[in-house]
Structure 1
Amino acid sequence: MFKRVLLTALLAIIFVSCQQKPESDISYEISAVLVDSIPQLKIKMTLEASSDGTTLLSFPNEAWGEEDLFKTLVRMELLNVEGVVEKDVDSGRIVLMHPKGVKKLEFEYFLKQDFEGEISTREIYRPIINSDYFHVFSHNLFMVPENAKHSMDIVLDWTSFGKDYVVHNSFGSNKKMQLLQNQDMDLFNSAIFVGGDFRIYEGQIQGNRISLATRGDWIPFADEDVFLVLEKTLTCQRNFWNDHSQDYFTVTLQPFPQENGSSFQGTGLTNSFATSVSNNDQTDIGQMVYLFNHELMHNWIGHTITNDNEEEQYWFSEGFTEYYTYKNIAKNKINGLDGAFFVQEINRTIRDLYASSISEVPNAEINYDNFWSDYEYSKLPYWRGAIFAFYLDQKIQQIGDGSQSLDHVMHQIYADATTKDQKLTHDYFIQVMDGFWDGDFESVFQKYIEEGQKVDLVALFDALALEYSAESDIYELGFKFTDDRKEIASVTEGSKAWEAGVREGDEVFSRSIWQGNIDHKVELGLRRNGEEFNISYYPITKAAVPQLKPALENIEKLGF
């Protein structure tokens, strides 16, 4: 009896000691509270105080395209000393003024969701906090000392949420006490934190943990199917790069309502990928296949292999990622897709490039401003880079009689990035390609990337004895909006829009346009002379654009 009581007491002591907070440079206690019936997150922060009596914390008021993030801050106060807390909106700082000589500060602040109603793509990067769940990115959740060291020990204490409450983030799943030792602060500031009614699916790839966190009632697919796509995508990509070094990786999948069309977006983060997807019957699992394969490929192309000058090398970081998205899916038959899918996507990319009004602008014209503000400029590096990668892949295989491919180039670039910290520059890429090319590669690069000329696909298809059609339908909207998109500014005579009856000066009261897609009709609600009417048409025009035929012989020649 005595031994049993003693054992019970020892177990109790061990349990209590395990719940004690570890030593750290910064600690955060996070809890869910209701303030005037409004769900909020309360964060108690313990940190080292500045000896001069002014401690500065970083909390951006503008980040990731979002503005006025200080509106999510409800209440702030110092708990262990008398002092003053101020917001410095312009600098994105929280200023803590306190007595000099204080060693530690205990600081508490509350966060709330600052918008009402259902979420949309506009709010997904703002804190989402309600009675069912929370979904917050680290820069919107955790203030950090402005003078923080490059790496610090951080404690995240979620114990107030209870054992049955799901807490999931970029650093672990359902761990109510997290110690992030020697944590890189840049990586800490690029993370996702979710909790509440999320469902967690877990698996392993060569002993490394992967997981999917999702919530809501999905209309277009089942959770299990999405997890299978994630698992196979990561397995095949890690096998391709021979890189199984990441011991934890998670994807969060957040639904949002959308009546017409489908949309999805993703953000690559520390050990994680946060996605938001429209939840309707116009979304399908195929879009998740593309999204996962493109965005997760950025773990290597764009992350490990980094651009020396970001926009200047988007033809590589976005274009080659796009090409290897198609190739990885088809080679590994992810979700049952094969070589026919590869041909389909190469053809679509060719059409998109040829349909672009800026298809042959020089690479130097792609800059930060137009890439982030103009649809065609934002897509041009994807289209141009993917077709260039396709061209190089086929030519290298032809030169080496099948013994080499663009894969070998990519592996060499990856090896140099990991062992020599080599960045992707134009001169470096040319240097690598010289080892695989027959002739002067610099002039090829100058022509197709620097100058932006289209690859001669007809000559390529002929040289590879591939079957193709010389003409195809490409996208043509056929009209231009006014700047406020409320009227038709001009219409191309003879276009499908013109034939359907769209005219300059028509007022637009509704629209459904699948940008760049020739398989969906443009649907417009127009008003002319006080009369309202609806118009729909396929946005296509015939053009001399070569397209590969989806013949089995073609697919086999392309290596599928």
Structure 2
Amino acid sequence: MFKRVLLTALLATFLFSCQQEPETDISYVIAPVMVDSIPQLKIKMTLEANADGTTALSFPDNAWGEEGLYNSLGKMELLNVEGAVEKDADSGRIVLMHPKGVDKLEFQYFLKQDFEGNVTTRETYRPIINQDYFHLFSHNMFMVPENAESSQDILLDWSAFPEQYVVHNSFGSKEKVQFLNDQDMDLFGSAIFVGGDFRVFNGEIQGNQISLATRGEWIPFKDEEVFKVLKETLTHQRNFWNDHSQDYFTVTLQPFPQENGSSFQGTGLTNSFATSVSNNDQTDIGQMVYLFNHELMHNWIGHTINTDNEEEQYWFSEGFTEYYTFKNIAKNKINGLDGTFFIDEFNRTIRDLYASSVAEAPNSEINYENFWTNYEYSKLPYWRGAIFAFYLDLKIQQTSNGKQSLDDVMHQIYADATSKDQKLAHDYFIEVMGEFWDGDFQTVFQKHIEEGQKVDLPKLFDELELEYSPESDIYELGFEFSEDRKEIASVVEGSKAWEAGVRAGDEVFSRSIWQGSIDHEVELGLRRNGKEYNLSYYPVTKAAVPQLKRTSDNIEKLGF
């Protein structure tokens, strides 16, 4: 595609150059080019020069878990003055050295894709630039002046791209020239930019524009299905918060090939949400329903409602988001899902918590190191917070005879966040809950969140006359890996793994494990005494774990 656009690009650039360019603090002219048969983006940047002859630009070499982003940089040069360009990877700076007293600098740099082959989950946060499309984030596309004011007037000129080449980003769609007046630089630095063979679907919610930009031939679903889920999700979430203030919002949906299993990831950005999803028959539209409802709820929980200490309040920012994901989907029957969906997801959450080896770890152990390095700690605030939210919701409804619910608490927190810039802290949450709770809430909070004790669900279910089973199947892998995950370190005698023949000391040469799932077999390739064994089993065990029954009475009592 890049070869086909060059002639049109030259004509478009000539026509735009004949027009008077508006005064801006920073301007970027972006063009597709081929360099040694490699598709690249050429970005011409115009900015104010520092009087001392040294102008530094911020451009991180390491960001969002990616390292060596400078590998994507091609030729860099000053166009209007003599000078030099230096990379300072350690500090994430590109330093322009030029004559003193220069008012404006014209600086040009090239961006390229620094990996070969198909895009996988490992590369989705690196610059993707090929003959068919580009997919970049602000921090790995646009250099910004290090000393820039907090808000700037910015020009983005895409005129070098032909009409049929879709340009779409966090600030608009299919606009050849974009003026971002008084643009908050932090918001500019958290944006998605895509272009090429993307298909854009547009809609409105109470006069506000929403869109979906996607590409490729999807196997598990159709574009229209995804856009319908997106529109339903945003409509009901905005109605819940009574917040229709966002006049533009977009989701980008990028496919990547994956043979086994399914995976998806999403990143909330300025006016946008960027997703990458495995494109195979093991992915389904239900995963998109969950992904959109959880991640887009973060526009309010975690964004508008900020937490005082990120890890300390993950029980709220992730756990309450998880609960309202289930509740929003079921209450509004998004994609046809109803109260049975809520019960199924809540039961799964109970099983996951009870099966966890850190189920009753104190909240203080959900710290940065544990959360980002240990799967069970990373999921603990989701499970614990969702169950705690359910407990509060049902108890508030019970004591108020249905006149109030956790929804009222959330609306109060949102009002304080927007009117008083109030952050969610433990003392503040306890204070707000005191207005809705019958009794000493501080002790309840101390017990179930700070100390981490499980909610007595059988007692709660009995009080509310909800039908439930006292035990269920829960996940049990049945063995532990060695530290390098190349051997079996130990096996739980009597477990399904033990029954299948897994033994301590076995060398592992292949494995397929759906972490936390009791519905998928564990498949292991083991080597013992020179012989190879292929074993499989369901990682399940019986335990005293309460589960709500999928009855019409339960669904009605839960408000669905």
Aligned position for 2:11: none
Aligned position for 1:140: 140
The secondary structure found in structure 2 opposite 1:273 is: strand
Equivalence map 1:470-549=2 (5 Å): 470-549=470-549
- Matches of 2:496 and 2:136, distance apart in 1: 45
Aligned position for 1:179: 179
Aligned position for 1:378: 378
Aligned position for 1:9: none
Give, as a single letter, the amino acid of the residue that structure 2 aligns with 1:414. Y
Aligned position for 2:50: 50
Aligned position for 2:88: 88
Aligned position for 1:162: 162
Give, as a single letter, the amino acid of the residue that structure 2 aligns with 1:371. F
* Alpha-carbon distance, 1:484 to partner: 2.0
* Matching of residue 230 in structure 1 with residue 220 in structure 2: no
Aligned position for 2:119: 119
- Matches of 1:156 and 1:512, distance apart in 2: 46
* Alpha-carbon distance, 1:521 to partner: 0.8
Give, as a single letter, the amino acid of the residue that structure 2 aligns with 1:480. E
Aligned position for 1:458: 458
* Matching of residue 432 in structure 1 with residue 432 in structure 2: yes
- Matches of 1:507 and 1:166, distance apart in 2: 51
Give, as a single letter, the amino acid of the residue that structure 2 aligns with 1:525. G
Aligned position for 1:357: 357
* Alpha-carbon distance, 1:407 to partner: 0.2
The secondary structure found in structure 1 opposite 2:294 is: helix
Farther off after superposition, 144-153 or 530-539: 530-539
Equivalence map 1:21-420=2 (5 Å): 21-420=21-420
- Tell me the TM-score normalized by structure 2: 0.97
- Matches of 2:62 and 2:552, distance apart in 1: 52
- Matches of 1:483 and 1:60, distance apart in 2: 33
Contact 1:22–1:179 (CA under 8 A) maintained in structure 2:
no
Aligned position for 1:443: 443
Structure 1 residues 27-53: Cα deviation after superposition (integer angstroms, max 9, x where no partner): 000011111011111100000000000
- Matches of 1:559 and 1:136, distance apart in 2: 43
Distance 1:198 1:18, change over 3 A: farther
Give, as a single letter, the amino acid of the residue that structure 1 aligns with 2:21. K
* Matching of residue 468 in structure 1 with residue 468 in structure 2: yes
Aligned position for 1:12: none
- Matches of 1:60 and 1:522, distance apart in 2: 40
Distance 1:329 1:179, change over 3 A: same
Distance 1:69 1:237, change over 3 A: same
Structure 1 residues 47-82: Cα deviation after superposition (integer angstroms, max 9, x where no partner): 000000000000001100000111111111101101
Contact 2:59–2:93 (CA under 8 A) maintained in structure 1:
yes
- Matches of 1:22 and 1:497, distance apart in 2: 69
Farther off after superposition, 216-225 or 530-539: 530-539
- Matches of 1:65 and 1:159, distance apart in 2: 33
Give, as a single letter, the amino acid of the residue that structure 2 aligns with 1:521. E
The secondary structure found in structure 2 opposite 1:212 is: strand
Contact 1:260–1:512 (CA under 8 A) maintained in structure 2:
no
Contact 1:349–1:383 (CA under 8 A) maintained in structure 2:
yes
- Matches of 1:157 and 1:427, distance apart in 2: 49
- Tell me the TM-score normalized by structure 1: 0.97
Contact 2:16–2:159 (CA under 8 A) maintained in structure 1:
no
* Alpha-carbon distance, 1:530 to partner: 2.1
* Alpha-carbon distance, 1:17 to partner: 9.9
- Matches of 2:493 and 2:116, distance apart in 1: 45
Farther off after superposition, 370-379 or 19-28: 19-28
Give, as a single letter, the amino acid of the residue that structure 2 aligns with 1:56. A
- Matches of 1:384 and 1:542, distance apart in 2: 21
Give, as a single letter, the amino acid of the residue that structure 1 aligns with 2:87. K
* Alpha-carbon distance, 1:19 to partner: 5.5
- Matches of 2:549 and 2:100, distance apart in 1: 76
* Alpha-carbon distance, 1:22 to partner: 2.2
Give, as a single letter, the amino acid of the residue that structure 1 aligns with 2:381. P
- Matches of 1:480 and 1:166, distance apart in 2: 49
The secondary structure found in structure 1 opposite 2:160 is: helix
Structure 1 residues 170-223: Cα deviation after superposition (integer angstroms, max 9, x where no partner): 000000100000000000000000000100000000000000000011000000
RMSD of aligned Cα (Å): 1.0
Give, as a single letter, the amino acid of the residue that structure 2 aligns with 1:464. L
The secondary structure found in structure 2 opposite 1:265 is: strand
Name structure 1 gaps, 5 residues minimum. 1-14
Give, as a single letter, the amino acid of the residue that structure 1 aligns with 2:97. M
After TM superposition, which residue ranges in structure 1, 4 or more long, deviate above 6 angstroms? 15-18
Contact 1:21–1:177 (CA under 8 A) maintained in structure 2:
no
* Alpha-carbon distance, 1:21 to partner: 2.9
- Matches of 2:376 and 2:192, distance apart in 1: 30
- Matches of 1:482 and 1:45, distance apart in 2: 52
- Matches of 1:136 and 1:20, distance apart in 2: 29
Aligned position for 1:5: none
Structure 1 residues 453-473: Cα deviation after superposition (integer angstroms, max 9, x where no partner): 000001000000001010001
Give, as a single letter, the amino acid of the residue that structure 2 aligns with 1:460. L
Contact 1:19–1:177 (CA under 8 A) maintained in structure 2:
no
Contact 2:199–2:214 (CA under 8 A) maintained in structure 1:
yes
- Matches of 1:539 and 1:513, distance apart in 2: 9
- Matches of 1:382 and 1:425, distance apart in 2: 17
- Matches of 1:391 and 1:18, distance apart in 2: 66
- Matches of 2:116 and 2:531, distance apart in 1: 35
- Matches of 1:478 and 1:258, distance apart in 2: 27
The secondary structure found in structure 1 opposite 2:502 is: coil
- Matches of 1:100 and 1:326, distance apart in 2: 60
* Alpha-carbon distance, 1:16 to partner: 6.8
Farther off after superposition, 503-512 or 31-40: 503-512
* Alpha-carbon distance, 1:533 to partner: 2.2
The secondary structure found in structure 1 opposite 2:91 is: coil
Identical amino acids, percent of aligned pairs: 81
Distance 1:35 1:362, change over 3 A: same
